Amino acid sequence: MSNNNFLHMYQTLVSIPSISALDDKLNQSNKLVIDNLATWCQTLGFECEITELNNAPKKYNLLARLTPQEQQVEHTNVKGGLMLAGHTDTVPFDDKQWSLNPFALTQKNNKLYGLGAIDMKGFFAFILDVLQGLDLKNLKQPLIILATADEETTMAGAQQICQHKNLKPARCIIGEPTDMIPVFTHKGHMSNAIRITGKSGHSSAPDSGLNAIEIMHLVIEKLLVLKQTLKNKYSDKHFKIPYPTLNLGHIHGGDNANRICGCCELHIDLRPLPGISVKELQAILLAAVSDITKQYPNTVEVIDLHDPIPAFKGATDSSLVQLAEKISGEKAIAVNYCTEAPFIQQLGCETIIMGPGSINQAHQPDEYLAMEKIKPTQEIIRKIILESCF
């Protein structure tokens, strides 16, 4: 693996487009990223399992496992040890907003620029570079690398891997950009469309139709009350924004000023706290608009725009949190964004989010990693692997 130094692997991963999008015109396979990772892992002695997703054709997960010699009799059933996990897809990008080539790892102003530089292809370059400097023959506990697909849209890769029957790591670190600060809990994510189907007609005869915009006005009033109710009723002191948030993000309806609007649709974003289940929040949302649905039967629909992502909560006193705090020198925190953690956690492992780069650069034009962070990040990853597996 002499040619596969840190920057070479970093550049290779960034150079391969692997965008996830709900728009088929933008959506891309991640297979070439997975193939490169598998090749590098195999060179280090990992046994690799590449799986196409059941619900997302041309999207793939990689499970790379390195097992101590004494545990290799039952190599398909991996228990214990450490799993290092991340996703291989990126968000779409606006070419007009980028000043640099998003598919080239550009060194400039002591920064590494590129799409996926910190969200989160770069994490795999860090892992593999660190592993090249370790004597893997002395491994005492299993070491697993998980690379998933479609995190940026459906999280289908993580949802599929959590059903794996022969995967039972003791610990998992998901390398999303946290500036190497351990994250032990985060909010969930729900996106809903509220669709009003009225009856169109000529504006000069208002009673001949049913104006969807007017009904949506009533719905929005209810949602603003719900927004305040969530703020008043629920609180978690670990979060900077300690309550569930509700955002009215996008609305469209109607086609002409002199026409009664026959259809209006509003897209909202809900971020549940740990302890509030997705089903509970869905029921709260439906209850908020129930009076309107009774007043206007068969007019109001509440639709999931994607499968809801539950909140994630780990234990602050877990051995992994304590180890990460000790090695990083940072106290574990809560964050408002969401990750694959609630699905990975279903494998039964202690789970945290902790990776290179700042979340402030994620999903931004000219995404970058500050180069002064490289050596400290490599050292933290190295120490965690040594403590967990050697």
The catalytic site residues sit at 89, 151
Q: 180 and 355 in contact (C-beta within 8 Å)?
A: yes
Q: Name residues whose C-beta falls within 8 Å of residue 221's C-beta, 6 or more positions apart in sequence.
A: none
SS3 category, 159: helix
User: One-letter amino acid identity for 335?
Assistant: V
Q: How would you classify the pairing of strands 333-335 and 143-148?
A: unpaired
Strand order in the sheet with 106-108: 106-108, 111-113, 368-370
Measured CA distances, 373 to 111, 122, 297, 377 (Å): 10, 12, 58, 6
CA gap 334, 153 in Å, rounded: 22
Q: Quick one: which H or E segment has residue 341?
A: helix 341-344
- Which two structure tokens, joined as six digits, stand for 157? 């890769």
CB atoms within 10 A of CB 93: 20
